[in-house]
Each structure stands twice: as structure tokens, then as C-alpha cells.
Amino acid sequence: MSFFESIIKCLCIRNDPLILPADDLKRDSATFVKEKLKEISERNICDVDAMQTVVEHGGGYIETKINRLSGSFGSYLKFHENVIQYYPEFIFQGTLFEQKSICIKEVGSFSKQMENEMLIAKKLIHHENILSHFFGFNQIDENFIAMEFYEMTLCSVKTIVLRDLLTQLSNGIEFLHDSRIAHCCLRLTNVAVVTRGASKRIYKITNFREAVETTNEFELKSDIEALGKILLHFQKRQEDHEENDVDWSEHDNVLCVDVIDRMTDVDYHNRPFIKTVKCQPFLWSHRDSLHFIIKIAKILEQNICNFSEYLRSHAERIFNQDWRGYIDRDVLNELDDINRKRLPYHMRIKFNADDISLKSDVIGLIKQIRNLVGLQA
């Protein structure tokens, strides 16, 4: 039986079978099949009832109907069988209705695991950082799952923005944990990468065969540890990276190192829950960082008359002669622009226009204060 014919069988749904009365088959079989697949794809949900074996409906009878429908059906579902991933499963690239790209994952004969994955995925629909599962189906001893199309997994990613990766995966894990589900197998191969536009990447958690419904702290925090190890993988790659066009400044950030250390603590009691991870200063927006800087500046100015000059003159003593190495370059470059344009006038940080050096020093020093306070929080 061909791979294409096995896909047809996914439409043999128990409560709404493809096997219609003879009159209906004569009149509208092709339209029915088209509408059924269109309904599944547009709803963008997984349908556990679609996982039926051929035996349940009578193999010979279905074979006959498949032969009758394949001619008109072929224009709506085209599979090129381009393998885009080998491990841990085979992933085939295909096109649904020539408009919607999908992937077909071959999961072998593990029907129980496939059923668990579909049941879990059904509870996790409509989240940007969770890969959509459309339907499952089988062919004798082979099981397949049709999923949202993706180009690759994190295994194939060479350069990455750690803040973006942590933000997106934290959103996905938070959605899982709020749904009382622990993934239990989060790793590079189980994070799909979907490209939007020229450069925007969307990271989506996939493969829920090992997932469990739980509120157990150990299982939930196993996802936190796994996420920390994913970040550590990319953070450590700096040591072996030889390209000069990659900005690795954020990988040296003390807050980045700190959040990874906390997430991968050997004692799971010391690991933060996902909501705490999302509040870490490493993930703060430029606006949040600026408000924090202003807050710290005001606190210090209450006790130090000439705050700016004090910080500049005591920089080496306070920061062990290495405070410049901890400045977040992206924030340093954009801080002044945000300060001038987005905040009310009375909240803006005042600098002498002719003292650019002092301005840069003060911003950098306050940034370091923020980092140190963040580590102690």
C-alpha cells in the first residue's frame, strides 16, 4: 500500500466515516474528501478519533473506495517525500491543498505513544510556541502524525539570539505548565524552527510522546533544567566559534550566566519555576531596564550629592577594574534614544551635552549596578 493511500485512511473517522452510502459516493465523494481535509487543516487542531486502524472498518471495503477516490483526491494533497529530519523520527515535507505546508512524522509501531502525543497536543492548541498537530493515522504497523510545517530543529541552528530563544521557549513552557503538563523530553531535536519573513524565527516545542499531565514539582522543574541546558549549549559554543561576524556580547552577560546556573542546579528545589524565569533581568526589555536604572539612580542620589561624579571616580574600585566588560552593548547603544523619545520629560536622565564620555560611563556603571542587584535578587 502506498504512502499516499495510508494518508487517505486518516479520514476514516469513527463518528463521521468516509465510507458513505452508495448514492453519496456517486454524487459527491471528491467534494466530501476535500471538505474533510480542509476542515481539519483550517481548524488547526488534532483529531484523536482520526487514529483508526484499517481493520476496524474492513480492509477490503476501504481499499476499494480508496482506489475510486484517489484520482480526484490527488490534486488536493501532494507529498514530495522530502526528508527534512532523520532523528529522532523521519519527517517528510508535504503540501496540503497546495496552500498549507505540513510535515508528516513517522513514529513506527508505537501506537500508545502516538495516542499519548495526540491527546496531549489536543490540549495545547493555538499557541505560537507549540507546534500544531493536525491529525494522526496509521498503516498496519506504521503510525504517522501530520503536523505544522517547520524547516529544521535547533540541532541545525548555528547562531542564535539567546534572549529571543529563552523568551519564546519560556512562553511555550509556561503554557504547558499552566495546562498542568510537563514535557519531560525537552532537547534540541524537540524544538522546531519556523521562519517568518526574512529573518524572524519562531521556536516551537514539539514531540509530546513522553509528556505527562502532572503538577509534580520534580517533573515540572525537569523542563526548567532541560531549557537551561539548551541555553548552555548555545552559550558555550562561543568558545569554539571562529566566525567574526557574530555578536557574542550577550553570551558573556553575567545575567545570562546566572539564569543558566539557576535553571540547571543539581537540586531541583533550587531551580526556579517558569514564571520566575520569565521575570529574570536577563529578559527585561529596554524600557524595563531603563526604569530600573532610573529607580537605582534616584535611590543613590538621595544619599550621594554628586552621584555621577562619584560613580565615575570610583569605577575601578567598585567594579574591580573590569566594569566595562559587563555593559550590555545593545542596551547601551539604544538607551539614550529610548530615554529621549519614550519617557516624559521629567523622567529623563539629565546629562551635560558636552560631556559624552561622562554620559557613557554613567550609563555603563548603572547598567552594572543593575546586573549586580539582579544577581542578588
Once rounded to an integer, what is the mean pLDDT over residues 316-327? 48
Predicted local distance difference test score (pLDDT) of residue 3: 41
- Number of alpha carbons in the 13 Å side-chain half-sphere of residue 176: 34
Transcribe 90-140 into DSSP letters: EEEEEEETTTEEEEEEEEET-HHHHHHHHHHHHTT-S-TTB--EEEEEEET
142-148 and 191-196: which strand pairing?
Answer: unpaired
Predicted local distance difference test score (pLDDT) of residue 15: 31
Query: What pLDDT band is residue 207 in, cutting at 50, 70 and 90?
Result: confident
Please name each of the domains of the chain with its CATH number.
Answer: 3-148 (3.30.200.20), 152-282 (1.10.510.10), 286-376 (no CATH)
Query: What pLDDT band is residue 9 in, cutting at 50, 70 and 90?
Result: very low
As a whole number, the mean pLDDT across the chain is 64
Query: Is the confidence at residue 357, as pLDDT, over 60?
Result: no
Q: Quick check: 274 and 170 in contact, CB under 8 A? A: yes
Predicted local distance difference test score (pLDDT) of residue 370: 55
Where is mean pLDDT largest: 58-72, 121-135, 209-223?
Answer: 209-223
Predicted local distance difference test score (pLDDT) of residue 170: 96
Predicted local distance difference test score (pLDDT) of residue 335: 54
131-135 long-range contacts, CB within 8 A, separation 24+: 131/192, 131/204, 131/205, 131/206, 132/44, 132/45, 132/46, 133/46, 134/40, 134/41, 134/44, 134/45, 134/46, 134/47, 134/102, 135/10, 135/40, 135/46, 135/47, 135/50, 135/51
Predicted local distance difference test score (pLDDT) of residue 298: 63
Predicted local distance difference test score (pLDDT) of residue 279: 85
Taking Cα atoms as reference points, which of 67, 76, 8 lies closest to residue 38?
76
Predicted local distance difference test score (pLDDT) of residue 210: 87
Query: Is the confidence at residue 132, as pLDDT, over 50?
Result: yes
Query: Could you tell me the three cell numbers for 121?
Result: 497536543
Instruction: Note the pLDDT tens digit of each residue in 261-283.
Output: 899 999 999 999 999 999 887 88
Taking Cα atoms as reference points, which of 138, 140, 125, 111 lies closest to residue 209?
111
Query: What pLDDT band is residue 356 in, cutting at 50, 70 and 90?
Result: very low
Query: Is the confidence at residue 247, as pLDDT, over 60?
Result: no
Give the separation between CA 79 and CA 75, rounded to whole angstroms: 11
Query: What pLDDT band is residue 220 in, cutting at 50, 70 and 90?
Result: very high
Query: What pLDDT band is residue 187 in, cutting at 50, 70 and 90?
Result: very high
Predicted local distance difference test score (pLDDT) of residue 149: 81
Query: Could you tell me the three cell numbers for 98?
Result: 497546495
Predicted local distance difference test score (pLDDT) of residue 50: 34
Query: What pLDDT band is residue 228 in, cutting at 50, 70 and 90?
Result: very high
Transcribe 37-104 into DSSP letters: HHHHHHHT--BGGG---HHHH-HHHHHHHHHHHHHHHTTTEEEEEEEEE-SSSEEEEEEETTTEEEEE
